[in-house]
Every structure is written in C-alpha cells, then in structure tokens.
A and B are shown apart, each in its own frame.
Chain A
Amino acid sequence: MPNMENQAVLTMRGICKQFPGTKALNNVDFTLRKGEIHALMGENGAGKSTLIKVLTGVYGKDAGSIWVDGTEGEARIHSPQDAQNIGISTVYQEITLCPNLSVAENMFIGRTKGPFVNWWSRNKRTTEILESLNIPARARQELSQCSLAVQQMVAIARAVDMNCKVLILDEPTSSLDEHEVEMLFGLMRDLRDRGVGIIFVTHFLEQVYAVSDRITVLRNGELVGEWPVAELPQVELVARMMGKDLDDMVDLDAVGEKSVGSDETVYEAVGLSSTECKPFDFQIHKGEVNGFTGLLGSGRSESVRAIFGADRVTGGMVMVKGQHAVINKPYRAMKKGIGYLPEDRKRDGIVADLSVRENIILALQVMKGFFHPMSRDEMEAFADEYIKALQIKTASQETPIGSLSGGNQQKVILARWLLTHPDYLILDEPTRGIDVGTKLEIQRLVLKLAEEGMSVTFISSEIEEMLRTCSRLIVMRDRNIVGELTGDQLTQGQIMRTIAGGEQ
C-alpha cells in the first residue's frame, strides 16, 4: 500500500442535499486520503452521483462542510470552475467534452490564461501527454472522429494534466474494453503512486477489487460505512450495497431454469443486412431467450437494430410467425409485435421532459395511431399498473422521467414495451449502468416473460448475465456471426474461445 502518510486530501462531513420529493443525501461523511484509490459504491439512487456533483459544484449543498488539502478553511465550491481551481477534477460517465473541437482543444479549453490561443504549443503539449499516457489519438484530430473509449481517455488525460489533488472517475470503464480498462488501471495506479487521491465510481465489482484500496458504501442517500478493501469480501460488499442478504442471487439461480422455448419460430431472417451490418441469418423460437455476444464493436447492436429496422435495411428476407414480412422501419416492426429497448437510453430511449406516464404509453399510442387517443383514465391505469409491477421508484407518474435514476428510467422504457405486449422483445444492454439489485430484477423479469411465451433477445456486455439468462448465444466477431452456443457449450471459456476464434 503506497498510502504511507494517512493524510486526508478531502474531507466531507454531514453533507445533505434535498431534491423535490426525495432526500438525495442525508448527513453523508466521506474522507479521501493522499495516494489512495477509493471506491464509492452504492445502488442507483444511493446518492453517489449527487455526492460527486456536490463535490464538483454542479449542485449546491443544503448542509455540511467540505475541506480540501491546501485550501484554508472550508472549501467554497459553487461551480465546476471552483472545484478545478482547488484541485478537484472529474471525468464523468457521459463524456463531457466538445465533439466539434480537436483533441488538443478539448485538453486545454477552459483552463488557459490570457485571451489568445497558442495552437502550436497546445498541439505540442497534447502530443506529449497522449504519448506519455499511450492514448491512440492525435492532437489535431477532431474529437468526434475518435472512438468513445478514446474520448474517455482524452477526458482523463485532461484531468491528469491539471495536476489535480482529487481525481473523480465516475463510471470511467463502462465504455472501455478489457484491454483499455487495464490501461486505465495502470494509469490510476501510477497517479496514486504520485500522491493523487482518486475517487472511483463503478458498477463492476471485479474492477473495484482489482484496483481500489478502500471502499465507501452509500445506500438511499445515507452512509453505510467505509472499509479497507481487504476487510470487505465481495459478497459482503454486495450485501451492504443492497441492504439485504444474498437470497436474491440464490433466488435467481433457482429461477434459472432457462427457457429453451417451443418449436414454433416467431422470427426468422435470412441474409438480413443493413447499412451498418453484414448479411446474417437468425431465428428465434417462441418463449426462447437468446443473446448476441462479442467484443465491443463486434456488431451485436447493429444486428438487432437491423432486425428492428432501426438502421436502413439493405437486403434479406424476413419471416414473422411463418409469414413473409417487410421490416424497414421501427413502426413496421412494432406492428409485427417486435419491441426494442435501445442500448443508449438517453439518446434513443427516454423523452426526458415528458412524464413517466407519457413515456410509458408512448409506444402503445404509436401502435394505436394518433387518431385514436387514449383517455386519461386509461393512461393512468396503465402507468399505475406498470409502476407497481416493475417497482419503479418515482415521486408520481407525472414526474419528468429525466429526474429519475438510471435504473428506474430503464424500467420505464421496459414498461413502455411490455405495455404493447410484443411477441418478441429485443433488450440491448438493459442492465448497463444500473445497480446490482435492478440488474437482477431485470434478469428475473426476462426469464419470467420467456416462461409466459415471449421471445427475448438479451444483449449484455457482462457474460455472466448472459449465461444466467440465455439458452442460446450467438457469438460475433468483426461484424460476422462466428458461432452459436447452446446447452453445455454455454461456459465462459467456450465463449472466449469462440470470440478469439482463429486469432490465437
């Protein structure tokens, strides 16, 4: 452990933050020491994001005090700029850089002195930083031309270059592949050894144990406790986060009779292709749960988007329930009984300013056509039913969905599709960025739906989740289907081998 001097760089005491309808933070304490990686854990709605936003000045706090090493008295943080000035840098889950500017500009904008821009020195310095951190980008490249992972790394490089005392990484790994995660961890350890305090927020438990020194757990806006990582086994961590024992996990394994489905084919595609994916064959049976797996960028999402007609379909033949069908836009897919929960719920899923009720009935309304409006009572009844059934945590059905936590937003989108009673539901990364408890709920729900006769395609980047839910896995590599695994073949090792294929 490199944190020999047990000196706090950041002390937060008694932080309270109230939002309309919810108490987001209630008397929370947090301490970060010099040269440690401190994991901040909790389910969705536990208050991690709020705590970080208070710390970085995005939200004001209602009560409590913050002290930062090197700053006299209580730190006054009223804006991200204030936070930056006293040495607190943040890399958010959503990339907070400007896509229309160059990499070098994104590194330096908002933190240079003087009214003029020196492009030459900026580009030179950026090239040095990128090289020292081994980031595959060029200084003069426009940021939008970089992959999501590289954009994330640029954001981290920016924070690193600011010589921050406190570096906050909010879900930094959710869009990186394993290799990139390792690179990031190397960087984090390097920074730790230089004495930077790092707050690491993530949903991946393994990653917490791989890199952290200390763990703080929050639940429902309150502090549960703080432990050195060695004193808190993984199972116990999950229990603390969920505030209950692990019966639920066991529960799922018990439910875990995977649904193979009947012989009836619900959907079949031959040679289906779109502008985004190469031709592929695919079929799914009634009551079956299958999945697409593969590395980032292997074409999992693109394939299901083609099935739903979300990208421009360029060829292939599609049969739905034994009948020839043309699905070239989402509306036609919906008419044929196909539902699609998109990967990026912020962009393709939620309508942030509309209420929970309106978001729930959206798809059904489209199906009915806009000339057959539903009555208010009908809508409220539907919304109520699904808010209860999926245990959506919301102040009321009129709350704008944007103010819900990620997991609850996801449940609302799920409710939207369930309401249309699809025969075939495609779930693309339904568990991304949401807490362990909700993940389990969603997996259990998938299995239950399949039991009731719905066919489900389930995509997740966590292989364990796929193994728990899917009875058939389609493995993709470089936009091609390279294998199909069923029954005994469904093991991590076999999947890895199939993905790796001839590249050994």
Chain B
Amino acid sequence: MTTIQPDLRKKKRFERLTDAQLLTIISGTIFVVMYLIAVLSIEEFKKPQVLFDITNYYSYLIIIACALTIVMVGGGINISVGGVICLTCMVCTMFMKDSGIEDPTLLLWATFGVAIAIGAAFGAFQGALISFLEIQPFIITLGGMFLARGLTTILSGGKNVTLPDDNPFAKWMAELEIKIPELGTQRIRKGKVFINPAVLNWVTIIAIAVVVIIYLVMRFTKFGRNTYAIGGNQQSAQMLGINVKQTRFNTYLLSGVLSGLAGFVFMMFNGAGGKTGIGLRFEMDAIAASIIGGTLLSGGVGNVIGSFFGAMILGTLQKIIWFSGLQEAYWQDMANGVMLGIFIVMQSVVLGVRGKGKISLPFAKGKASLEKG
C-alpha cells in the first residue's frame, strides 16, 4: 500500500502565487483601475500634476504605512506614529527657531537628525517594553501616543509655534523641487506661451526611496525574514533559533525611526511649524493603508509595495471626492470606511475562492489548510 503522490519536484518555472503576493497584486490593480477611471471621468485628473500632488501630500502616509507594515508583519501594532509625527514637528520647529545655527544646510541636517533621534527614542523605548517585558503592543503604543502628545503640549506650552517669515523652508522647498515641463500645462496669453511645469517634490522621492529600501530590507536581510517568521509563528521562530525579542525590538525601533522621518517630511512639506493638533488619526490611516495593501493584522503576511498602493488608493480617493465637490470631511471619512470594508470583503472572497470555496476573513487566525485523515 503506497499512497500515490504527484511528483511535486517537477521543475516549475513559476511557483503558484502565495496569498501575500496575490493581495499585493490586487491592491496594485485596484489603484491603477481606480486612477484610470478617475482620469476618464474627471477632467482635472488628466493633468499628471494631480498624481504628483497625491504623492507629495501623502508622502508622510506612505512612510508611516511602511512603518506599520513592518510592525504588523512581525505580529504587532504601533498606534503612536501620529503622536510621534506631532512631537517631531513641534520639536523640529522649535529647534530651527532657537538653535542659533546660522548655516542653512547645517540647520537642515541638524533638524533632520533631531527628527530621527526622536523617532528612534520612541521606537526603542516602546520596543524594549513590548519585546523584553512582553507587554501588549497596543497598550504600550497607546501610551506612547499619549506621551508624545503630552510632551508636545508641555514643550510648546500649549501654543502653536511658527517660524518667522524669513524661515529657510521656502528656499529649500524651491531648491529641491523637481520641475518637469513636459508634464506641465501650457497657457497662451497675448501670443506668449507660459509653461506651468508639473512639480514633483523631494518628499515624494524620499517616500519612494523608503518604500524601495524597506522592501529590500524585508526581502533580502536576515532581519526582514526573521520578522516574517516571528509574525507567522512566534513559537516556531524561537525553535528555529531566531532571536524573537531582538527581532521584535528592531521592528519597533525601525518603525519609530520611520515615524520621525515622516514627521520631518510632513513638517518640511507643509511648512507646518509646531501645532498640537498635527497627526491626529494618522496611525489609523496608516493601518488602513497597510490592510488595503494586503498586510494581515494576524502577522506574517504583507509587504510595503502593497502598503504603498494602499496609501495611494486612500490618497486618490480623497482627490476624487475633492474634485467631486464633496469637500466636507465626513464624506472623506465615509469613503475611507466603505473602501476599507470593500477591501476586506474582497480579499476574503478572493482568498476564499482559492482555498476550496471556504470564505473566511483573512484576519481569522489559523486558516484550515492542514489536511488530515
């Protein structure tokens, strides 16, 4: 009596897509389709500038979506990113105002260093509590969120801090803009051609670079693969000889650094200065972006390319609503909510169709994939 086993070792050029890959592809497809529909139906979308506006404005969201993806793949959560952005904006603004550094380039880099340091400090502190004392990440990062916002208020005395009018922002921003005349619009007035070039801001470049770097880190480094392993099955990961605590700590540290970077980017792009209300609900948008991009809350599945598309889908949606004339905030909220719902249902249907017609939420732990007698 031998069982008949299909020869699985037959050479195959491509493996069957994994659920994770499929989810990323879905989110990418949705983004493209959604954008094409917008281009066909809304006049403004025909300008390439709209796409750049989205990436420019939502660069912070792309970065914190990456931060959330790393943590969620490791089986955790980090809801302090919005608070850290707020604190970073405040501290950086105060630093630029009062540091007394004269050289503008030096000031820029020093401010950048401050932002990263704040993020890293928060990440390390939270990561240490979560990994080494094994406290629930939700609670620790909730505490981190309050702590960051409280610190912001204490440092600023509850007042908004603004830079003087001759602040170096404008100059930097102008210097670092990438003008692409070919994609711009033309106007002819009094026989003269005025070109209004499309503007791609450097923050977009940073955000894209973050996505690419984090993707490579998650795919080709030991840290990245260990993160997938601890998210997939923590006990197994331990048995396989992975340092679970150190890996988990690193995920929070990295997400903290990215939060600091996002705060810096947000401040520079918006010229925002320090306000105590910055970054409210950013963490929720980032979680939504990650989930739409195919990251599972249960851990072990997801990648930052998907999260990038997730952030872009949310950004595009906002633009569509804006151009549709529904400019009240609640329309945007509702659209986000409906979108998230549709995505989750669609993901589960697609995964369900793959898995023998069983439909279960991708969140549901322990997919019944092991067959026995």
Contacts and interface: CB of A to CB of B under 8 A. Distances in A.
B366 interface: yes
A295 B238 CA distance: 33
Contacts of B6: 136
B12 interface: yes
B226 A116 contact: no
Interface in A123-155: 130-131, 136-138, 140-142, 144-145, 147-148, 150
A300 interface: yes
Interface string B205-236: 00000000000000111111110110111011
Interface string A48-91: 00000000001000000000000000000000110010000010
Given A179-B2, A312-B358, A98 B229 contact: yes
B1 A138 contact: no
B-side interface size class? 35 or more
Contact of A142 (B18, B222, B224, B226): B18
Of B20, B242, B301, B356, most buried by chain A (CB within 10 Å of CB) is: B242
A457 B268 CA distance: 70
Contacts of B15: 138, 140-142
B132 to A, nearest CB: 15
**Majority secondary structure, A binding face:** loop
B300 interface: yes
B175 interface: no
A96 interface: yes
A148 B239 contact: no
Contact of A115 (B222, B237, B243): B222
Contacts of A131: 9
A297 B371 contact: yes
Contact of B228 (A92, A101, A347): A101
B334 interface: no
Most buried by A among B5, B226, B231: B5
A403 to B, nearest CB: 16
A92 B110 CA distance: 52
Contacts of B373: 294-298, 300-301, 343, 429, 459, 461
Contact of A147 (B226, B237, B371): B371
Nearest to A136: B8
Size bracket of the A interface? 35 or more
Nearest to B234: A98
Contacts of A110: 226, 229, 237, 240-242
A109 B242 contact: yes
Nearest to B356: A275
Main SS of the interface on chain B? loop
A137 B20 CA distance: 20
A343 B236 contact: no
A354 interface: no
Interface in B316-373: 356-358, 366-367, 369-373
A353 to B, nearest CB: 15
A388 interface: no
Contacts of B192: none
Contact of B241 (A80, A101, A180): A80
B3 A98 contact: no
A499 interface: yes
Contacts of A117: 219-222, 224-225
B372 A109 contact: no
Given A138-B12, A179-B1, A499-B1, A81 B228 contact: no
A178 B1 contact: yes
Contacts of A147: 370-371
A138 B9 contact: yes
B16 interface: yes
Contacts of A148: 370-372
Interface in A160-187: 175, 177-180
B372 A84 contact: no
A347 B301 CA distance: 21
Contacts of A144: 367, 369
Given A141-B8, A179-B3, A296-B372, 20 more contacts: A95-B236, A96-B233, A96-B240, A98-B237, A98-B300, A99-B233, A100-B20, A100-B233, A101-B232, A109-B229, A110-B242, A115-B222, A115-B223, A142-B15, A144-B369, A296-B373, A297-B373, A298-B373, A343-B372, A459-B373
Interface of A: 58, 80-81, 84, 90, 92, 95-101, 105-106, 109-112, 114-117, 119, 130-131, 136-138, 140-142, 144-145, 147-148, 150, 175, 177-180, 275-276, 294-298, 300-301, 312, 343-344, 347, 429, 459, 461, 496, 499-500
25 contacts: A80-B238, A98-B233, A98-B237, A106-B240, A109-B226, A109-B229, A110-B226, A110-B237, A110-B240, A110-B242, A111-B240, A114-B222, A115-B223, A116-B220, A119-B220, A136-B7, A141-B8, A145-B16, A276-B356, A296-B3, A297-B3, A297-B373, A300-B373, A301-B372, A461-B373
